[in-house]
Amino acid sequence: MRERFEEPALPGLPRAVRRALVAVWISLGLHAAVIVLVQVAPPAGGRADQPTIEVRLMPASEPVSVHETVAGPAPEERPVAAAAGPAPTPPPLPVPAAPGAAAVPALAVDSAVDLTYYTARELDVQPRALQDIQPTYPPEADRLRQSGTVRLELKIEADGRVSDVSVVGADPPDVFDESARAAFAAARFSPAQKNGRPVRMRMLVEVSYVRDQRPGAGD
């Protein structure tokens, strides 16, 4: 069942100012550990019926792994009958290794680069936004009093950068897509962690744009 979001208390701000702000909620739900409030300043000459943008982080399914290309097995060699000839020369005697030489150990598993994009439920430490994420309400959609929803898939690197933002669903299409994509493409997060190491993460985000539909509002 969808959670009900209420307007947050903003102590120290006049009531008129609080009404003029657009609240953008980022709710991490049961699979994460923090609720972040992001506010978007209204456009110049703001009205009392400002639109609302609600952002929810959704649980992703299976982790996405990036696998390195592995060479296939070498083609089978067919035995070739040896031609008759002189007796083979005996192999040379092995030369002892130089003093102090040691075999190079294989890389430890812990030092290998982890190329998996983990989901939130697989992490020990969840990423946190390092700055406000501020989607803007498209002016044309605001003028037409359009509402809509955009679903994004984010790929967050081990250093907290957002390396890829894909629109995986939008209703209506091509209205709010760029607003949502641009806001999250510029975001930075604290690194996600698994087993004490920074790792990559895959996150699904749902951004809801809700416009006041009251007749005559804002006219």
- Three-state secondary-structure class, residue 181: helix
Q: Any idea what the CATH number is for the domain that residue 53 is in? A: 3.30.2420.10
Q: Model confidence over 147-201: pLDDT tens digits?
A: 999 999 999 999 999 999 999 999 999 999 999 999 999 999 999 999 999 999 9
Query: Structural domain tally of the chain?
Result: 1
Residue that is written with structure tokens 């962690």 in the block: 193
Where in the sequence is the domain holding 54, given as residue range(s)? 15-65+112-210
Q: Is there a contact between 141 and 211 (Cβ–Cβ < 8 Å)? A: yes
In a domain, 139, yes or no: yes
Q: Is there a contact between 134 and 179 (Cβ–Cβ < 8 Å)? A: no
Element counts in the chain: helices (H) and strands (E):
3, 9
Q: Is there a contact between 169 and 161 (Cβ–Cβ < 8 Å)? A: no
- pLDDT attached to residue 55: 73
Tokens of 211: 């416009």
How far, in Å, CA of 4 to CA of 27, rounded?
11
- pLDDT attached to residue 91: 65
Look up residue 145 and give its DSSP letter.
T
In a domain, 74, yes or no: no
Phi, psi of 139, rounded to the nearest 5 degrees: -55, -40
In a domain, 73, yes or no: no
In a domain, 101, yes or no: no
- pLDDT attached to residue 14: 44
In a domain, 21, yes or no: yes
Residue that is written with structure tokens 């609240």 in the block: 23
- pLDDT attached to residue 114: 87
In a domain, 75, yes or no: no
* Residue in 115, 123, 120 with CA at minimum distance from that of residue 153: 120
- pLDDT attached to residue 9: 45
- pLDDT attached to residue 59: 54
Phi, psi of 14, rounded to the nearest 5 degrees: -60, 150
- pLDDT attached to residue 78: 58
* Residue in 176, 205, 166 with CA at minimum distance from that of residue 51: 176
Q: Mean pLDDT over all residues of the chain?
A: 69
Average pLDDT of each block of 10 consecutive residues along the chain (219 residues)? 44 40 34 33 48 66 43 52 56 60 47 84 93 92 94 96 96 96 96 96 93 56
In a domain, 123, yes or no: yes
In a domain, 36, yes or no: yes
